[in-house]
A = this chain, B = another copy of it.
Amino acid sequence: MLQIDLDRSSPVPLYFQVAQVFEKAIMDGVLKPGERFENELALADRLNLSRPTTRRAIQELVDKGLLVRKRGVGTQVVQAPVHRPVELTSLYDDLARAGQEPATRVLDYAVGPVADDVAAQLNLAAGTEVVTVRRLRFSGGQPLALMTNHLPVNLAPEREELERSGLYQALRSRGVHIRLARQRIGAKSADRDEAKLLDEKPKAPLLVMERTAFDDSGRAVEYGSHVYRASRYYFDTTLVDR
């Protein structure tokens, strides 16, 4: 039986505190794959929490793909080695967290009227001025990705800022909080330019991601079209049927 200490004076929500303890327990193998999970009522009673609060904590873990519930039966830990789920972060954050020492070279930084396809993605009027940036991202000293981004001029970070930090971090420091992103993931062959920059052979396979990001007022803030070396990158996702 897992010991859980709650801090009711903390600003961290109770359901989140509970979820975190269980998440760690599952990740650390304290709760074993396939094991029966404490039922909602008993857990609520044990923690002196209301059932909805307890339920929400459990639901967090179901949404993360760590638990599975079956009506009339119970809740169980999913049987699998877990990887980190995809989150709404930039590649820079991903790499920094993995200790990969990312570095960025800004190849181009231009201001000009928006292209039609980009205007559609960003929901901008034709002819609006946007900043277009092309960056080469390295990790472990090797090129990893070629990234092209388009942003409204009033939001775009300076060129120097983009060398130092990730795009999303730069936007955050300007008070822009990315809350939502729609992505399309595909594949293509490297053209000569891409191959040269990424240190691959022409026609090498590349992973393509196009992304439109929205801030917390629902405004389209950024459209990016990125190519990754297939030999060095992939995306993990977890899908839950509710």
A79 neighbours in B (Cβ, 8 Å): 123, 214, 218-220
CA–CA, A235 and B219, complex, Å: 23
Nearest to A211 among chain B residues (CB) is B239
Q: Which residue of B lies closest to A77 (CB)?
A: B218
Q: Which residues 62-79 of A sit at the B interface, judged by CB distance below 8 A? A: 65, 67-70, 73, 76-79
Q: Does A29 contact B (CB under 8 A)?
A: no
Chain A binding surface, main DSSP class: strand
| From B77, B180, B212, contact of A68 by CB (8 A) | B180
Per the 8 Å Cβ criterion, residues 146-205 of A in contact with B are: 178-189, 203-205
Given A205-B189, A205-B206, are A218 and B183 also a contact pair (CB < 8 Å)? no
| A interface with B by C-beta (< 8 Å) | 33-34, 52, 65, 67-70, 73, 76-83, 86-88, 120-121, 123, 178-189, 203-208, 212, 214-220, 230, 233-241
